[in-house]
A and B are shown apart, each in its own frame.
Chain A
Amino acid sequence: MVVINRGAHAEPGTSLEFKTGNWRSSECPVHVHAKAPCHAACPAGEDQQAWFAWLQEGHVEEAWRELVSKNPLPSVTGRVCPHPCETACNRTSIDSALAIHNVERWLGDEAVAKGWAYPVEAPAEDAPCVAIVGAGPGGLSAAYHCLRNGLRAEIFEALPEAGGLLRSAIPPTRLPRPALDAELNRLLALPGIKLNLRCKLGRDVGLDELKHSHAAVILAPGCGLSKEWNIDGAVPTDLHEGLHLLREFMDHGEFPEARRVAVHGGGNTAIDLCRLMKRHGVEQVTLITASALPGPDTDPEDLINVVPRELEEALEEGIEIIEHATVKRLIMKGSRMTGVEIVALKKLLGTDGRMHRVQFEGTERVVSVDMVIPCIGERVDPEGMHNLMNRWHYLDARDRWSRTPQENVHAIGDARGDRGTVAEAIGDGRLAVEAVAARLQGRADPVEDTRPEMPASGLNPVYFGRISRTAVPKLPVAERTFEAEIEGDIGRMAALREATRCLSCGNCLACDNCWVMCPDNAVIKTAELASDGSHYVFDLDFCKGCGICAKECPTGFIQMAEDTWHEGD
């Protein structure tokens, strides 16, 4: 008979057999790779957090490759983009946003200087070919993403040079032509992209013909015509439209004679034009805009739609801006203009629930000018695409993949009417090609990234000290010419320093906090990458669900979720 007593059976045991006993909460930690807000805000779809991570590790070329996996023109967007990524940056809750824009430009220039190869392979000889109309940023992005998706691309451009509005409407002070050409030529030299210049839709080639000969058609014509402008039916006899003037100036370097000019509008074209005219010697340049200048209480909906630093520079250079106003009457002396009558105006919600521009009687005043230039926006040149136009004179694109009512035809970029930046056009190009590729593979839609966004409240700011933002060199007002680039290069040291400021929102930066601070030793470190891209795995056998790891995770990569652990897992 076996006699059981305590002494006989006190074999040494390990608490590892006990696991958590009955100590479990209803939650357990999980790794969640949420979108960084910069990524979520980027119209081109770049994952800034991902390429800053490469920079933090000192891998500059890898950073560039990650960047151009979405945006093939970083040297361009690094100069012209209004950088919504910086506006969204969570670092503003600690000190100030990262200089993402300037680092992007440095990376783009570095790639050009070092000749790094784009991460694409030549498509197969018999790969389907996509027709792209327009070689602006949208069309070029579409062509590039064709290669990334194994397709060939044929671009049809009406002008003798590729570049679209990058060449025709953006002044060299913002985008020097050598920088533009360097990046564009590298892109266009990729095998699998065929560029037809001086080939205009409706004149040299027809839409139906393209639909027939190609697997899909992507229309990226941009907005080539100015919107019609008049004041109660009146226009000055020598009316010059803003975009037209800008193009003329780019070609010939001349503006019509004028001493005092009023520009009516509120976009980047208007600001560019104001600054060029001022620099050209016009005494007084006044911008009359219906929107508001940025201020502490400005409603974002009402804010003037201009790159903030451009606005800042314009004010530095002495451009006068009259906000919340519109031109009410032209004052003529014979056929000569002597002034404009302006009136205060605001966008207000009407009884019908829509926004209306309301003019306030009794606020009229006269600004004496001898030229008024409308810059109120552009519209699509409908030639060859008449049956795709909607009633607002834009192309009828209906979803995020820019599909039009016609099968296999996408309309992207400015021509959609609801876009307005280079980055949006680049993003449209990628999305449209993804939709084309998905269809060719027999799928309805491309896979969408539905991950949640990481808010600043999801981070633990305790683990990040303050580091001041890199100052960007700028040409003094007195030295600004028509050619010299105003914003300078920040350089390698500053770019890498700026990268150390990235908070890595929503992504693991391998800080070891979870591993060090788990009271139950339930976080296990791995030398290799774990399946979720971090260096840690949770051993839920021993996790009691206290939540310390989630609270102390600096980047919000660890979150608490419903406990799914079962005995014996």
Chain B
Amino acid sequence: MSDNDTDQRAERLAELREKFGRHPVEPKKPFHQGASLRDRQPRFCALESGHRACQGCGEALAARLVMECAGPDVMVANATGCLEVFTTPWPQSAWQVPWVHSLFENSAAVASGMEAAMKARGKNTKILAFGGDGGTYDIGFQALSGMLERYHNILYVCYDNEAYMNTGIQRSSSTPHAASTTTSPAGPERMGKRHLKKDLLGIIAAHHIPYSASASVAYPADLQRKVRYAMGINGPTFLVVHSPCPLGWKHDSHLTIEVARRAVECGLFPIVEMERGELANVMPIREVRPVKDYLALQGRFGHLMKPDDPRAVEELTHLQALADYNITYFNLRGEGEDPADTVGISQVARDRAAGEA
């Protein structure tokens, strides 16, 4: 090959690169190494500010809390859903760790591949798989089941906001009984969703994986303890986090934590831990609330707040019965005061070290 040919090829290559390739860019300064207050936060921030989540988004909060204690050496496979949409609008990203957007149904499968690849390269990087309740309870369920069955070393976190919020509040199999959504509207025919919320943890338990648990954004300390525990396990682990959606549940944005807390306190969302499919631990409720306290804050249950309507009363009583069933089934009443129960775990006190110079 002549020199001329070589020159021509190099020229053509340069031309193509100019047209289609990536421009060489200055390497961006890594985040969190500057001198500003934001850069010196005493926690690992993998999900940065500036994402497009709605005001008071429970899922954004839950994801940040999970990432904080999952630590820097992780990679994330994220199913399609709110979390994926609001964190990564082109060309920006709120993630500060390697992050892959999978399809709606296959984040568990993509994560399995990532885990296998890391294993092949001899790396210990932990793989996280994220999905909403739609991507977990419904669409991605067989991929999740396969991942658990193949025993991949992955922590799967389901952010449960109890409907397809990203596409416009359609009911999912996680939507609670009697909740009104765009595809299960309350009206003359039905009082919201006809069916029950799927007992996903029960199905996960049947896989006999090392660890699975439920948590709530209302109890960050409990949630983070569970993430840390799961990160230490070599094998499939599963966490479902109750994350209110102000838009879909129709409550004020400042009530996100309050709504999540009442869901736990009334018994409708039991906080439990399972090891090898056996119930290992529960968060006891110190003062059990009636479910009405929880439902009354949310527009999606507004149709139940009519004491004169016998159908509303029936469904309200039904939900109370479901909560009572959970309380009995998981023995959520506890025995006496417990520092890890719903009241004990929330308590605050002045930090004695705060006043030290």
Residues of A near B18 (CB, < 8 A) are: 3
Q: Which of B22, B49, B352 contacts A8 (CB 8 A)?
A: B22
Q: Which of B19, B87, B217, B354 contacts A57 (CB 8 A)?
A: B354
The answer to whether B351 and A54 have CB atoms under 8 Å apart is no
Residues of B near A525 (CB, < 8 A) are: 41-42
The answer to whether B256 and A519 have CB atoms under 8 Å apart is yes
A397 close to chain B: CB less than 8 A = no
Stretch at the interface among B126-134, B206-214, B327-335, B342-350: B342-350
Residues of B near A552 (CB, < 8 A) are: 257-258
Nearest-Cβ distance from residue A565 to partner chain B, whole angstroms? 14
Report how far A554 CA is from B352 CA in the complex, Å. Answer: 17
Q: Which residue of B lies closest to A509 (CB)?
A: B350
Interface residue ranges, B against A (CB under 8 Å)? 18-23, 25, 28, 31, 37-38, 41-42, 45, 47-58, 60-61, 64-65, 87, 89-94, 217, 220, 246, 252-258, 261, 337, 343-344, 346-352, 354-356
Report how far A527 CA is from B55 CA in the complex, Å. Answer: 28
A349 close to chain B: CB less than 8 A = no
Q: Which residue of B lies closest to A462 (CB)?
A: B346
A21 close to chain B: CB less than 8 A = yes
Question: If the complex has contacts A23-B54, A520-B60, A551-B255, are A539 and B92 also in contact, measured as CB distance less than 8 A?
Answer: no
A173 close to chain B: CB less than 8 A = no
Between A and B, 9 residue pairs with Cβ closer than 8 Å are A3-B18, A5-B19, A15-B94, A16-B48, A509-B350, A510-B354, A511-B348, A539-B37, A548-B256
Interface string of A333-374 (1 = CB under 8 A from B): 000000000000000000000000000000000000000000
The answer to whether B28 and A21 have CB atoms under 8 Å apart is no
Residues of B near A21 (CB, < 8 A) are: 52
Residues of B near A5 (CB, < 8 A) are: 19-20
The answer to whether A463 and B348 have CB atoms under 8 Å apart is yes
Complex interface residues of chain A between 482 and 511 (CB less than 8 A to chain B): 500, 504, 509-511
Report how far A517 CA is from B89 CA in the complex, Å. Answer: 24
The answer to whether B350 and A504 have CB atoms under 8 Å apart is yes
Nearest-Cβ distance from residue B256 to partner chain A, whole angstroms? 6
The answer to whether B257 and A57 have CB atoms under 8 Å apart is no
Chain A interface extent, by class: 35 or more
Question: If the complex has contacts A462-B261, A521-B49, are A56 and B352 also in contact, measured as CB distance less than 8 A?
Answer: yes
Residues of B near A511 (CB, < 8 A) are: 348-351
A444 close to chain B: CB less than 8 A = no
Residues of A near B37 (CB, < 8 A) are: 524, 526, 537, 539
Report how far A14 CA is from B54 CA in the complex, Å. Answer: 18
Residues of B near A9 (CB, < 8 A) are: 91
Report how far A535 CA is from B354 CA in the complex, Å. Answer: 9
Report how far A12 CA is from B90 CA in the complex, Å. Answer: 9
The answer to whether A18 and B52 have CB atoms under 8 Å apart is yes
Q: Which of A7, A12, A546 contacts B55 (CB 8 A)?
A: A546
Q: Which residue of B lies closest to A550 (CB)?
A: B254
Residues of A near B61 (CB, < 8 A) are: 517-519, 548
The answer to whether A519 and B350 have CB atoms under 8 Å apart is no
Report how far A518 CA is from B93 CA in the complex, Å. Answer: 19
Residues of A near B92 (CB, < 8 A) are: 13-15, 17-18
The answer to whether A57 and B254 have CB atoms under 8 Å apart is no
Nearest-Cβ distance from residue A128 to partner chain B, whole angstroms? 36
Nearest-Cβ distance from residue B285 to partner chain A, whole angstroms? 13
Q: Which residue of A lies closest to B94 (CB)?
A: A15
The answer to whether A58 and B352 have CB atoms under 8 Å apart is yes
The answer to whether B347 and A463 have CB atoms under 8 Å apart is yes
Residues of B near A513 (CB, < 8 A) are: 348
Q: Which of A7, A15, A462 contacts B22 (CB 8 A)?
A: A7
The answer to whether B65 and A516 have CB atoms under 8 Å apart is yes
Question: If the complex has contacts A11-B91, A56-B349, are A520 and B51 also in contact, measured as CB distance less than 8 A?
Answer: yes
Nearest-Cβ distance from residue B227 to partner chain A, whole angstroms? 14
Residues of A near B337 (CB, < 8 A) are: 465
A contact face: mostly helix, strand, loop, or mixed: loop
Nearest-Cβ distance from residue A242 to partner chain B, whole angstroms? 46
Report how far A53 CA is from B257 CA in the complex, Å. Answer: 27
A255 close to chain B: CB less than 8 A = no
The answer to whether B49 and A542 have CB atoms under 8 Å apart is yes
Nearest-Cβ distance from residue B92 to partner chain A, whole angstroms? 4
Interface string of A41-81 (1 = CB under 8 A from B): 00000000000011011110000000000000000000000
The answer to whether A464 and B355 have CB atoms under 8 Å apart is no
Question: If the complex has contacts A12-B28, A53-B350, A513-B348, are A522 and B253 also in contact, measured as CB distance less than 8 A?
Answer: no
Residues of B near A465 (CB, < 8 A) are: 337, 343-344, 347
Residues of A near B91 (CB, < 8 A) are: 9-13
Residues of A near B220 (CB, < 8 A) are: 516-517
Given contacts A8-B20, A465-B347, 12 further A-B contacts (CB under 8 A): A54-B355, A57-B356, A462-B343, A463-B347, A509-B351, A510-B351, A511-B348, A527-B42, A546-B55, A546-B253, A547-B56, A551-B257
The answer to whether B350 and A546 have CB atoms under 8 Å apart is no
The answer to whether A521 and B45 have CB atoms under 8 Å apart is yes
A82 close to chain B: CB less than 8 A = no
The answer to whether A524 and B56 have CB atoms under 8 Å apart is no
Question: If the complex has contacts A537-B37, A539-B49, A546-B256, are A14 and B31 also in contact, measured as CB distance less than 8 A?
Answer: yes
Residues of B near A519 (CB, < 8 A) are: 53, 56-58, 60-61, 64, 256
The answer to whether B261 and A15 have CB atoms under 8 Å apart is no
Residues of A near B254 (CB, < 8 A) are: 546-548, 550-551, 560
A214 close to chain B: CB less than 8 A = no
Question: If the complex has contacts A21-B52, A465-B343, A539-B49, are A554 and B348 also in contact, measured as CB distance less than 8 A?
Answer: yes
A19 close to chain B: CB less than 8 A = yes
Report how far A3 CA is from B15 CA in the complex, Å. Answer: 11
Q: Which residue of A lies closest to B25 (CB)?
A: A11
Report how far A526 CA is from B31 CA in the complex, Å. Answer: 18
A545 close to chain B: CB less than 8 A = yes
Report how far A552 CA is from B255 CA in the complex, Å. Answer: 9
Nearest-Cβ distance from residue A461 to partner chain B, whole angstroms? 10
Residues of A near B87 (CB, < 8 A) are: 15
Report how far A463 CA is from B87 CA in the complex, Å. Answer: 31
Residues of A near B20 (CB, < 8 A) are: 5, 7-8
A481 close to chain B: CB less than 8 A = no
Report how far A525 CA is from B42 CA in the complex, Å. Answer: 8
The answer to whether A521 and B48 have CB atoms under 8 Å apart is yes
